[in-house]
């Protein structure tokens, strides 16, 4: 069971999953849980502070979420863990997704 916290801060809804891994075992459930909690026109900060590992399935789930918010919405990611940030840089997804080291910077 995936657990999330959700709260509003300024113009953004901040969704924080309480999971350490987004991988083949939970990527689809993660994506669907995020979609069910947030309408397409949401301004979202997805806080991945607890996440320590993401595989290709997890990256696919995040790209799918980005597409979910293209109808008037926006998604920004908080990715403070160095190895996870490196994954976004190596795959160049930091050029596609809005990746920030903190929620304060993501909201700026």
Q: What's residue 71's pLDDT?
A: 79
Q: What's residue 72's pLDDT?
A: 84
Domains, the chain, in order of start with CATH, read: 4-107 (3.30.750.24)
Q: What integer is the mean pLDDT of 26-38?
A: 94
**For residue 49, which of 81, 75, 21, 85 has the smallest C-alpha distance?**
81
pLDDT in tens, 33-84: 999 999 999 999 999 999 999 999 999 999 999 999 887 899 999 999 999 9
Q: Kindly state the helix (H) or strand (E) to which residue 78 belongs, with its residue range.
A: strand 74-78
Q: Is the pLDDT of residue 90 over 80?
A: yes
Give the predicted TM-score (pTM) of the model: 0.91
**For residue 4, which of 94, 25, 26, 67 has the smallest C-alpha distance?**
26
């Amino acid at each position: 069971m995936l657990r999330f916290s959700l709260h509003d801060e300024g113009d953004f809804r901040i969704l924080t999953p309480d999971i350490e891994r987004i991988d083949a075992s939970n990527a689809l459930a993660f994506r669907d849980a995020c979609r069910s909690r947030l309408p397409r026109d949401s301004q979202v900060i997805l806080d991945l502070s607890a996440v320590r590992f993401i595989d290709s399935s997890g990256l696919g789930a995040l790209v799918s979420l980005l597409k979910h918010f293209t109808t008037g919405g926006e998604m920004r990611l908080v990715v403070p863990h160095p190895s996870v940030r490196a994954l976004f840089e190596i795959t160049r997804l930091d050029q596609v997704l809005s990746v920030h080291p903190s929620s304060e910077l993501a909201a700026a």
